[in-house]
Structure 1
Amino acid sequence: MKSNQTCFSIILLGAFFLFSSCILFKQKEKPTLFLIGDSTVKNGKGKGDGSLWGWGSFIGDFFNTDKINIENDALGGTSSRTFQTNGLWDAVLVKIKKGDFVMMQFGHNDSSPLDDTARARGTIGGIGMESKDTFNPIKKKQEVVYTYGRYMRKFINDVKAKGAIPVICSSIPRNPVKDGEVVLVDDRYAGWAQEVAKAEKADFVPLNQLIKDKYSVLPASDVQNYFTEKDHTHTNEVGAKMNAAMVVKGLKAIKSSKLKGYLK
């Protein structure tokens, strides 16, 4: 009888520890915000390589990281096409779980040639279903290249299939200062990003327009201070931090956004 009671006590104790472990595990499990994109999201290793910074290096400053993880998987030089065809997306997708978020920004490199010998990273303009059978000189084989919108739809649909939430950002504007004046122009890829987000019912941050709105009320010298002197695309630390703040501003304006609930 005493032996049976001892066994029963041990079983209860084991069950208690198992239950407690499950509770602790659930408490520690947090959603993750994955970032994908080009060098304007993460340049190099995201540590200011060459004084060039992407806004993804600072977006975590605006979130309560006790409640959500931030993982920046963007890679410089990529387009919506090469992020997929070079296996980068598959490496991120396998980590995504239900309740996570994926914020994406592509466009700058999508306007490159489809089949140049330097990168072969361009996409067909627009959001339609067009395709082109192209010889890829980098991989030395034929490749069917699709539209920007079709690659973006694949990201969106893959994320939704995982039970996660996609968030599309239009790409940041390039340096608009020309001859001492701020010259703001429309960006086709920013427009296409918005169109595909609307068509797929995905959250959209009009990052390109939000940043241009800020530039429009500043003198050219102030706008120039956001950019590196090395090229007309990449921001310095000050510019990247401002762009991150604009991402958050855009998130806050989305009424149905679940992601903004994790902001500080």
Structure 2
Amino acid sequence: MKTKYLSLGLITAFVVLSSCIVLKQNEKPTLFLIGDSTVKNGKGKGDGSLWGWGSFIGELFDTNKINVENDALGGTSSRTFQTNGLWEPVLAKIKKGDFVMMQFGHNDSSPLDDTARARGTIKGIGTESKDTFNPIKKKQETVYTYGWYLRKYINDIKAKGGIPIVCSSIPRNPVKDGKVVLANDSYAKWAEEVAKAENVDFIPLNQLIKDNYAAANADLVKTYFTEKDHTHTNEAGAKLNASLVVAGLKTLKNSKLNNYLK
């Protein structure tokens, strides 16, 4: 009989301990990443030697204190990440105190209504819109500006008690004829303008990377990309970009996300 009670006691203790561990896990905040293939290329396993920075940024955080979830998907724009049903399941998981880092822009310059993707957004951050026929979904769709979609993410995150962080998109391979030729990026400027207007944290990732490239030489910068792709980084380039995301984060002195860095 004593053995029976002892066994029951051990089982009860195990269940309680397991519950506490699960509860502790659930108490940890989560850093959600949303964006395009420059955040997560393919399934995030280096297909074609291409990587997004989101695949490595978790290595720079103390994952005993915070979860890092990369929900980015290649080919998406700020528009299609919402309209193709990718945002809703992420939003459903966000709880008070979670962080959402977003980086869109590369695909927003695409046509609004082409038969391949229909993923473009209206240029700028205004409130204008355009009713257009979406040939992919075969129905009418109201398309808004790049800034409108960013504000939608920000407002949704705030409504859930989450903390939005906007990143400007990474630059493309700037090496031309053996020289580093850096170009201005309108989407980087618009991302910053939206973040400032909405009073949320902004990481000037585009500029941080360009500054790094400018201080390097063309031969070194070329090692961050594959020979056949001028947009997506390889592992070395993705790790560099992840480190610069964190460098930018550290300049945000009031960001609570800094508490979870290694």
What is the TM-score when the length of structure 1 is the normalising length?
A: 0.91
Paired position in structure 2 for 1:27: 24
Paired position in structure 2 for 1:211: 209
- Candidates 152, 164, 167, aligned match of 2:165: 167
Please report how far the alpha carbon of residue 229 of structure 1 lies from its aligned counterpart in structure 2 after TM superposition.
1.6
- Candidates 180, 190, 193, aligned match of 1:192: 190
Give the structure with higher Rg (CA): 1
Paired position in structure 2 for 1:65: 63
Q: Kindly tell me: are residues 23 and 128 of structure 1, through their superposed partners in 2, closer, same or farther at Cα, counting changes over 3 Å? A: same
Paired position in structure 2 for 1:107: 105
- Candidates 123, 126, 129, aligned match of 2:124: 126
**Match of 1:66, SS?**
coil
Query: Where does 1:227-246 land on structure 2 (aligned, <5 Å)?
Result: 227-246=225-244
Paired position in structure 1 for 2:6: none
Deviations 1:176-208 (A, max 9, x none): 011111000110000000000000011100000
- Candidates 83, 93, 109, aligned match of 2:91: 93
Paired position in structure 2 for 1:52: 50
Please report how far the alpha carbon of residue 27 of structure 1 lies from its aligned counterpart in structure 2 after TM superposition.
2.8
2: CA distance, partners of 1:197 / 1:47 = 31
Query: Where does 1:178-189 land on structure 2 (aligned, <5 Å)?
Result: 178-189=176-187
Paired position in structure 2 for 1:221: 219
- Candidates 237, 249, 252, aligned match of 1:251: 249
Paired position in structure 2 for 1:144: 142
Q: Kindly tell me: are residues 234 and 17 of structure 1, through their superposed partners in 2, closer, same or farther at Cα, counting changes over 3 Å? A: closer
**Match of 1:94, SS?**
helix
2: CA distance, partners of 1:49 / 1:20 = 40
2: CA distance, partners of 1:172 / 1:207 = 6
1: CA distance, partners of 2:192 / 2:138 = 34
Deviations 1:48-73 (A, max 9, x none): 01110000000001000000001000
> Percentage identity across aligned positions?
77
Deviations 1:87-123 (A, max 9, x none): 0000111111111000000000000010111110000
1: CA distance, partners of 2:16 / 2:56 = 38
Please report how far the alpha carbon of residue 30 of structure 1 lies from its aligned counterpart in structure 2 after TM superposition.
0.6
Aligned length: 250
List, as ranges, runs of 4+ consecutive aligned residues in structure 1 with deviation greater than 4 Å: 16-26
- Candidates 131, 152, 155, aligned match of 2:153: 155
1: CA distance, partners of 2:60 / 2:139 = 44
CA RMSD in angstroms, aligned pairs only: 1.7
2: CA distance, partners of 1:78 / 1:234 = 14
**Match of 2:93, SS?**
coil
Please report how far the alpha carbon of residue 151 of structure 1 lies from its aligned counterpart in structure 2 after TM superposition.
0.2
2: CA distance, partners of 1:238 / 1:94 = 33
Paired position in structure 1 for 2:114: 116
1: CA distance, partners of 2:201 / 2:185 = 19
Listed as ranges, the gaps of 5+ residues in structure 2 are 1-12
2: CA distance, partners of 1:216 / 1:17 = 57
**Match of 1:216, SS?**
helix
Deviations 1:129-188 (A, max 9, x none): 010001111111110000000000000000000001001000000000111110001100
What is the TM-score when the length of structure 2 is the normalising length?
A: 0.92
Q: Kindly tell me: are residues 24 and 43 of structure 1, through their superposed partners in 2, closer, same or farther at Cα, counting changes over 3 Å? A: closer
